[in-house]
Amino acid sequence: MRALVPVLKGLGYGVAGYVLGGPALGAVVRAAGLGFSFDLELVTGSLVGTVGWLAGVGVWEVWARGWFGLPLRPWPDEEGVARYFRFTTDHKVIGIQYLVTFLGLLFLGGALAMLMRWELMRPGMQLLTMNGFNQVMSLHGIIMIAVAVAIFLGGLGNYCVPLMIGAHDMAFPRVNALSYWLTPPVAVLLLASLLVGGWDSGWTAYPPLSEVNAPGQVLMIVAVVIFGLSSILGGINFLVTIARMRAPGLTWSRLPIFVWSVFAASLLSFVFTQYLAASLLMVLLDRVAGMSYFHFARGGTPVVYQQLFWFYSHPAVYIMILPAFGAALEVITHFARTPLYAYRWVVGAFLGIVGLSAIVWAHHNFTSGMPDWMHAPMMATTEAISVPTGLVFLAALGTLVRGRLWLRTPMLFALGWVWNFLIGGITGIFNADVATDLHLHDTYFVVGHFHYTIMGGEIFALLAALYYWYPKITGRMYDEGLGRLHFWWTFLAFNATFLPMFWVGVHGMNRRIADYPAALGDLNWWISLAAFALGASFLVFLYNFVVSWVRGPRAEANPWQASTLEWQVPSPPPVENFPAPPVVVGVPYGYGIPGARHAAFGAAGGSEEA
């Protein structure tokens, strides 16, 4: 229980901050005869509340006191369960905090999806009201977006990148901790929005709908802006860490491919997240300050929001998928026991995707009423992204076909990633092509497409990576039989759920609807059943990971006999990561190359080979 003290303190300060900064401030201002809307109360309250939360979990004692010339409290020691429940700087602790938090949110978002599929199982309304459905759909969307953005970089990036580059921690450990501790308020605000009417405008929050709906929208906007701050801080941290903290000898051309992918995604996160904040802040100003950016009654221009919003939100999908590319290729090369094929081409492809992702945003707007001359260039740039993505496939296939495959659970998920992302990628062309997209836009064809890319692509790569690094992170081995069961169950149920969505989309089922034409009832019934099976398959994963963490057999330092640095230290690694500093002497994936090795460990007196 003592372990929970910082979190409870944070909650207390957070609630107190909310009350003082929101309702109390509002009452004072109103008593002075000035206006102070409920929307504004929610904004100031949640901002002050977030500051209170941060102060309570430890920022005040170990960091912020110094800003006021007060002596800092000593850092609590870095052992034991308590470190997971307070502001602490070890990147491995922060990685686990991110992973557990966002896996929890993944399950919550999945449960919301089950609610939606229950409602959509039959035409007509059964379980939810139409407004209730829209709120559940919106919450599912934003939670899954947050999971998709944060779980790879925040979770596995934090845990693995410093280990893989031979560093003792991230470049800015306190900023790293701040990035994580900003995320619980995001989850709380999103869920608390249900108490003030929720919001029904989807994760995209297009105005003017998002300016005339319930006050829950305000909490969503504040939550997303705070989440964006966390993303930007995380992006900066990864860029500096990877640029400046690599072990001696770890040149850019020897960098493990996962590290490269985190670097590329962090570039996007650093550069583009501000545009999301800008677009949402304009909506907020329309709501609380009577501005007229987008409001229909004040002559606003709603299509401008869509341009600004997608200027972030399309690059955001590459923040999600680039680390997934890196992780899947990482798993494929280790489990094919052969060097990664076309390594330099893949690095080029990652950077090409970073560049191209900045000039494709308006393919979301082919039907929005934007000027007609933008259609052709945006279609061209969007379809051009298939070229660097094709190089990622070249690397995966080239490695597979030259390898000796070791079909353990991580590899199964990586192979599933190839299949799913293939379908996600091909259907993307249909959405990028104007002639077909005018029909497919905002239908279940799009829903199928982005679930194939983000769930089938990113989450399958995430599962591959979680099984791969599980023994390193927990020091225990998961159950291989249950892992395989999880793979086949999830893979089959996933495809059974999302493949028919392309069909119902083409046949006139638009997205984000609580009800649909009766003619589509049979297929929706099937999709719902498959979705329930998909949801249930994750219980196998949960059981396997929880039980193995407590009772699984102890893992060796390097159960996969993998070549990269994180496997050359004990499982789990000690607080300082590398008792002896590593020196990198060769390529990361030297499988089958006579005499090749990646690293040596030079202690003061001698060296020990890895």
Rounded to a whole number, what is the largest CA-CA distance in the chain?
Answer: 81
In 3D, which of 368, 360, 394, 177 has the Cα closest to residue 268? 360
Containing 528, the helix (H) or strand (E) segment is helix 521-551
Closer residue to other proteins in complex, CB, 74/371: 371
Q: Write the burial class of residue 522 (CB in 10 Å: 0-12 exposed, 13-18 middle, 19+ buried).
A: exposed
Q: Which two tokens stand for residue 182?
A: 């900003």
The answer to whether the CB of 558 falls within 8 A of the CB of 570 is no
Q: Does 556 bind other proteins (CB under 8 A)?
A: no
Q: Which of 14, 591, 598, 601 binds other proteins (CB under 8 A)?
A: 591
Rounded Cα distance, 199 and 98, in Å? 26
Q: Does 83 bind other proteins (CB under 8 A)?
A: no
**Between residue 138 and residue 197, which ones bind other proteins under the rule CB under 8 A?**
none
Buried b / exposed e over 478-498, threshold 16 CB at 10 Å, is bbeebbebbbebbbebbbbbb
State the minimum distance, in angstroms, from the CB of residue 372 to other proteins. Answer: 3
Q: Which of 359, 384, 533, 575 binds other proteins (CB under 8 A)?
A: 384
**Between residue 257 and residue 296, which ones bind other proteins under the rule CB under 8 A?**
296
Q: Does 515 bind other proteins (CB under 8 A)?
A: yes
Q: Which two tokens stand for residue 6?
A: 């910082």
Contact flags string 559-578 toward other proteins, x per CB under 8 A: -xx-----------------
Kindly give, in sequence order, each residue whose CB lies less than 8 Å from that of residue 565, ignoring residues fewer than 6 positions away: 163, 164, 165, 166, 247, 256, 582, 584, 598, 599, 610
State the minimum distance, in angstroms, from the CB of residue 40 to other proteins. Answer: 22
CA-atom Rg of the chain in angstroms? 24
Q: Does 341 bind other proteins (CB under 8 A)?
A: yes
Q: Which of 100, 401, 539, 542 binds other proteins (CB under 8 A)?
A: 401
State the minimum distance, in angstroms, from the CB of residue 211 to other proteins. Answer: 8
Q: Which of 5, 513, 557, 575 binds other proteins (CB under 8 A)?
A: 513
In 3D, which of 246, 270, 217 has the Cα closest to residue 39? 217
Q: Does 20 bind other proteins (CB under 8 A)?
A: no
List residues bridging with 278 in a β-sheet. Answer: none
Q: Does 72 bind other proteins (CB under 8 A)?
A: no
Q: Which of 47, 139, 182, 391 binds other proteins (CB under 8 A)?
A: 391
Residues listed for the chain: 610
Rounded Cα distance, 521 and 337, in Å? 47
State the minimum distance, in angstroms, from the CB of residue 395 to other proteins. Answer: 9
Q: Write the burial class of residue 243 (CB in 10 Å: 0-12 exposed, 13-18 middle, 19+ buried).
A: exposed
List residues bridging with 608 in a β-sheet. Answer: 601
Q: Which of 439, 477, 482, 557 binds other proteins (CB under 8 A)?
A: 439
Q: Which stretch binds other proteins (CB under 8 A): 82-90, 183-191, 273-281, 417-425?
A: 417-425
Closer residue to other proteins in complex, CB, 218/391: 391
State the minimum distance, in angstroms, from the CB of residue 201 to other proteins. Answer: 6
State the minimum distance, in angstroms, from the CB of residue 177 to other proteins. Answer: 37
Q: Which of 8, 130, 243, 289 binds other proteins (CB under 8 A)?
A: 130
Rounded Cα distance, 292 and 558, in Å? 59
Contact flags string 353-382 toward other proteins, x per CB under 8 A: --------------xxxxxxx-xxx-xx--
Closer residue to other proteins in complex, CB, 66/369: 369
Closer residue to other proteins in complex, CB, 377/574: 377
Rounded Cα distance, 67 and 409, in Å? 49
Q: Is the bond leading into 572 cis (omega within 30 degrees of zero)?
A: yes
Closer residue to other proteins in complex, CB, 491/578: 491
Q: Does 303 bind other proteins (CB under 8 A)?
A: yes
State the minimum distance, in angstroms, from the CB of residue 502 to other proteins. Answer: 9
Kindly give, in sequence order, each residue whose CB lies less than 8 Å from that of residue 296, ignoring residues fewer than 6 positions away: 208, 302
Q: Which of 17, 56, 234, 398 binds other proteins (CB under 8 A)?
A: 398
**Between residue 48 and residue 67, which ones bind other proteins under the rule CB under 8 A?**
none
Q: Does 436 bind other proteins (CB under 8 A)?
A: yes
Containing 609, the helix (H) or strand (E) segment is strand 607-609
Give the other-Cβ count within 10 Å of 373's Cβ. Answer: 8
Q: Does 430 bind other proteins (CB under 8 A)?
A: yes
Chain centroid offset of residue 142 CA: 11
The answer to whether the CB of 293 falls within 8 A of the CB of 305 is yes
Q: Does 597 bind other proteins (CB under 8 A)?
A: no
Closer residue to other proteins in complex, CB, 131/274: 131
Phi, psi torsion values for 55, nearest 5 degrees: -60, -45
Q: Which stretch binds other proteins (CB under 8 A): 47-55, 564-572, 588-596, 598-606?
A: 588-596
Q: Which of 1, 435, 550, 604 binds other proteins (CB under 8 A)?
A: 435
How many residues bind other proteins (CB under 8 A)? The answer is 93
Residue linked to tokens 């999945």: 110
Closer residue to other proteins in complex, CB, 181/417: 417
Closer residue to other proteins in complex, CB, 496/506: 506
Buried b / exposed e over 65-85, threshold 16 CB at 10 Å, is eeeeeeeeeeebeeeeebbeb
Coil, helix or strand at residue 498: helix
Q: Which stretch binds other proteins (CB under 8 A): 20-28, 104-112, 402-410, 448-456?
A: 402-410
State the minimum distance, in angstroms, from the CB of residue 439 to other proteins. Answer: 4
C-alpha distances in Å from residue 439, one per residue of 63, 434, 435, 501, 578: 54, 9, 8, 15, 56
Q: Which stretch binds other proteins (CB under 8 A): 59-67, 169-177, 404-412, 527-535?
A: 404-412
**Between residue 199 and residue 238, which ones bind other proteins under the rule CB under 8 A?**
200-202, 204, 206-209, 212-213
